[in-house]
Amino acid sequence: MEYTLTNMNDPTIQDNIKHKVTIEKQIGNTYFGMNPELLIGSAINELLNNLSSKPRNFQAKRRRPSADAIVKIEYNNLRSRQNIVQTYQNYCLQIEESFLDIDTQIINGKTIILENLQNLYFEVLDELEIDYLSVDEIDINKIRENSDTIIDYIILKLKNLSVESSNCNLPHEVIDIGIKVIVAHAFIECIIMENPNP
């Protein structure tokens, strides 16, 4: 084989470059073609499919969350992301039923989804350098300062997982609402964020 060294400073070559990717730090695989992970389905999409198939009616009137949920919202300083809890209010019965149904479709389906949510929570704590392993209690002030970032990170990761899976056949709005409901459920059930009453 013969390789030709090209002068990248040559302006004629730079004009022909449409997309340039610079990789500074690489952990894991890099694909320049079809990512094989896109051929795999996800449990989250099965849950979203199940949730979207449950009958429900639009309710224009807002429901108030439980007193426990309000305490947890305040404890974690979930000010800018309260909308996920409001969305959850309209789907709380359907998400509970969907979690029961998912175990009939996927062995340990509910457990897999909840473990994934908890792992995403720990992943974002690592990114934010918030210690949760070597301390008796997580620094709630750091959680409170970063609550929006934590929720946004988890939502974004779940949306990416959903959209990039082979079994994604849902409209964008269904994915958007469903992910918020699932994340809010994890929040209410103390899978993510901190419990004011440990």
Domain definitions of the chain by residue range: 40-188
For 25-60, what is each residue's pLDDT tens digit? 666 666 555 555 555 778 998 999 999 988 877 777
90 closest CA partner among 64, 115, 120, 125: 64
pLDDT(156) > 90? yes
109 closest CA partner among 35, 188, 51: 51
Report, as an integer, the average pLDDT of 67-90: 92
Report, as an integer, the average pLDDT of 89-114: 93
pLDDT, position 111:
96
